[in-house]
Amino acid sequence: MGSESKTPPPPGGAGLGPPPIPARRRAAPSPERLVRLGIAFYAALGGAALAWRRLGQGEPLWLASPDAEIRWLRDGALGVAAAAGVIAGSAWLTKRSRAGERLARALAEAVGPLRPTQAWVLALASGVAEEAFFRGALQPVVGLGWATVLFAAAHYVPRAGLALWSVFAAGAGLLLGGLYEATGNLLAPIVAHVLVNGVNLNRLVREYGPAAGWRAP
């Protein structure tokens, strides 16, 4: 009873954003507070990426090189196509895999009863900021491989049964980094990242959250 629940503590965060690592079970923050904290964190991450790229590297943040250009239709379409593949893969994983289902339920419990608008606000903030940092600022310095490893490490949760979180992030990070390398800009990775987070956040809340009627065994 009370705070001595036998249910293991869920990881924080959602989508591809880096989750906090609680030492013991605690109630999920209110949706409003979660959104405020998320916006503050991702604003700081995006600001750090901009400063690093412009001041440290002397290059524009949104382009891989000064002579690169954004092809809006092509790059946007590539982002949508990549997102569709990741969303389909994560849906299959949660439906067909016990580990995937456990991860989905833990994440849904962590984010709480987000409204669709709140989920999309977090998706937009995380997609833009994480791509700006990991692809726009970090990848030109360390390369695709190390950027992918560090992206996966940022999603690592040191708990049994949740290793799938970082494995999924590694695969997604490799795809997003590949989009950046192929297009020479951040448009396609940002579009893909925002769509993956927005769709998956809403699906987690709808299908695995408390409103879905699921109870821990």
Would you place residue 161 in the very low, low, confident or very high pLDDT band (cuts 50, 70, 90)?
Answer: low
High-pLDDT (> 70) share of the chain, %: 81
pTM: 0.83
pLDDT of residue 159: 66
Query: 10 Å Cβ neighbour count for 207?
Result: 16
Residues β-bridged to residue 63? 185
Least confident of 30-34, 70-74, 144-148, 196-200: 30-34
173-210 pLDDT tens trace: 999 999 999 999 999 999 999 999 999 999 999 988 76
In one-letter notation, the amino acid at residue 6 is K
* Residue 137 scores a pLDDT above 70: yes
pLDDT of residue 55: 86
CA distances from 200 to 19, 22, 24, 29 (A): 15, 22, 25, 19
74-131 pLDDT tens trace: 999 999 999 999 999 999 988 888 888 888 888 888 788 899 999 999 999 999 999 9
Helix 187-208 crosses helix 98-111 at what angle (to 10 degrees)? Answer: 90
Structural domain spans, the chain: 31-58+73-212
Q: Do 163 and 7 meet the contact criterion of CB atoms below 8 Å apart?
A: no
